[in-house]
Structure formats: structure tokens, C-alpha cells
A and B are shown apart, each in its own frame.
Chain A
Amino acid sequence: GAGVSQSPSNKVTEKGKDVELRCDPISGHTALYWYRQSLGQGLEFLIYFQGNSAPDKSGLPSDRFSAERTGGSVSTLTIQRTQQEDSAVYLCASSPHRGASGNTIYFGEGSWLTVV
């Protein structure tokens, strides 16, 4: 597809269950970001992948959160033992840059997670 694709668009899960959120970046984009957007809050940085380099995981809020990026393309964000405070929109973005700052990043429409 032409843009960043995320799935599922909506997910309702029970507290304590694990969830996986998928991101398919724009073809050829080497940089990939995950952000979390909670109601009334800004975008909270979670994790950043750049090519084959070690990811910047400094934004992951707890060890229940993890992410991987296979083959430098598709990424999966996993939340284990979900809690109600994990309810948010999870946004994925990609960029064609090679580690340089100041580049535009392109967002998907997000995955809306509700933990009940």
C-alpha cells in the first residue's frame, strides 16, 4: 500500500490478556516509530527502529511492552498482561531517513486498544 498500515484498527481485550499490534511501514522506509496517544495527552514515544541497528527502547513504559521488527519491515508491538491504563491509540510511523534528524515521519491511522 501507499501509506503506513496498522492492524487491527480496533481491539477490545480483557484485562490480563496479551495483545499484538501490527505495523506495515511504507516500502523502503528504514526508520520506524511506535507512539502511544492517550485521551487528552500528547504522543508518548515508545520505541524506534533504524535499519539493522539496535532499537531505542527508552520509551517503553514497562517490561510488559516489547516490539520487534522482522526483516527491516513489518513491526509488531506486544503488550503482555494488559491493564486498563494501557487503553490508548497506538500509532506507528515510518521515515525514509538513514538516522538523520529533521525528517518527516509518516503515520498510520493507529490501533485503538480498549482494555476492559
Chain B
Amino acid sequence: AQSVTQLDSQVPVFEEAPVELRCNYSSSVSVYLFWYVQYPNQGLQLLLKYLSGSTLVKGINGFEAEFNKSQTSFHLRKPSVHISDTAEYFCAVNPYSSASKIIFGSGTRLSIRP
């Protein structure tokens, strides 16, 4: 079985400050890794994903994430946030062997202060 842990339910940061949203996962099999974002009153959309290759993945809106296999982590980072980044961010894993099993974390609400 797989599980995803997002330790921070809420992260407040000032505008133009850097941010890191943490994601750790547990799995006995190999997984693909995702970050999805949900802006207010919108559906979730893909921010970035790791399938293979370079462990540093770049996504939309200046976000990036680094896959660390030894620490089973996939933390999301942005060097300078904007008000428009206010949203809820979800980390997810998908085992290689099962298209149906996409397991999401409980989400991190990022709030940006001017």
C-alpha cells in the first residue's frame, strides 16, 4: 500500500519570500510522483510530475520539486512567491503497476501575505 504525508496543513509566507512545501511518501513499489494545485473555486490542475530522469523537475508558474529516493520525499519549492500562488497544493503518488491507484496527500494551504 502507498501513503502520502504532507506535514504542513497551512503555510503562511510573505510575498516574494521563498517557500517549500513538504511531501513524504511510503511505498513498497516504485511510484510516479505529482504535485497538483487547486486555486480558489477551481478544480485541481497539474503543477508538475516526476516520471524518470533528472530528479529536479520544473513545473508551471516557477515551481520546482526534487525527488529524493533515499528520503522518500518530493518537496515543492519556489524561490519567490506571488499573491497569485495562494492555493491548496496536493502531493500524489501513482504506482507503476496500477493506473487506478493515485494516492493524494491531505493538502497544504499556501497563503501569501503582502
Contacts and interface: CB of A to CB of B under 8 A. Distances in A.
Contact of B46 (A42, A91, A104): A104
A40 B102 CA distance: 19
A110 B100 CA distance: 19
Interface residues on A, range: 20 to 34
Contacts of B97: 101
A101 B45 contact: no
Interface in A77-101: 91, 93, 97, 99-101
A110 B43 contact: yes
B49 A104 contact: yes
Contacts of B86: none
B32 A42 contact: no
Given A42-B90, A107-B44, A109-B42, A101 B96 contact: yes
Interface stretch (B13-21, B61-69, B75-83, B103-111): B103-111
20 contacts: A3-B43, A4-B43, A31-B99, A35-B104, A41-B106, A42-B90, A42-B105, A43-B90, A43-B104, A93-B44, A97-B99, A101-B32, A101-B95, A101-B97, A102-B49, A107-B36, A107-B43, A107-B45, A108-B43, A109-B41
Interface of B: 4, 6, 9, 32, 34, 36, 41-46, 49, 51, 90, 92, 94-107
